[in-house]
Amino acid sequence: MKYYISKEGLEKLKNELYSLKNVKRKEIIERIRNAKELGDLSENAEYAEAKDEQSFIEGKILEIENFINKAVIIDENSRSSDTVTVGTTVKIQCEGEKDHKEYTIVGSNEANPREGKISNESPFGKAFLGKKIGEKVEVQIPKGKIICEIMEIVNR
């Protein structure tokens, strides 16, 4: 599986990974060492909590490393100006709605619908990929099916 991400998004992930490995790991090791000094580990809540956090952080490190290893950077220069691809911003008009909506198709890791960034794996993202201006797409949403037309592909 490939994970699509912008250069900026990849840099953020790399920074988070660095912080987890070089700051958080050290903090947790210190917390565990301090908790061990308190005595009986079977009844030591601080020790148990620190070990749980250590497991969470190690899992997060593995998750980010896996993502980075499978990441495909969205090349903004190679995007087509007439076909929707990952990284494209589209203006759409959906039936029954007065206003146009604008969405940028991004990888799942960068999706944020409130900011108009939708995942290429979401129903809307999947429906728009490979389509051109003027095409109508049918999207299955919880309320049923909705038909939207691609009005414009915005080059930024």
Q: Which fold has domain 3-73?
A: Helix Hairpins (1.10.287)
pLDDT in tens, 9-60: 899 999 999 999 999 999 999 998 888 887 776 677 888 889 999 999 999 9
- Residue-wise DSSP of the chain: --EEE-HHHHHHHHHHHHHIIIIIHHHHHHHHHHHHTTS-GGG-HHHHHHHHHHHHHHHHHHHHHHHHHTEEE--TTS--SSB--TT-EEEEEETT-SS-EEEEEE-GGG-BGGGTEEETTSHHHHHHTT-BTT-EEEEEETTEEEEEEEEEEE--
Domain layout of the chain by residue ranges: 3-73, 89-154
Output the CATH code of domain 89-154: 3.10.50.30
pLDDT in tens, 84-94: 888 889 999 99
Greater model confidence, 25 or 154: 25
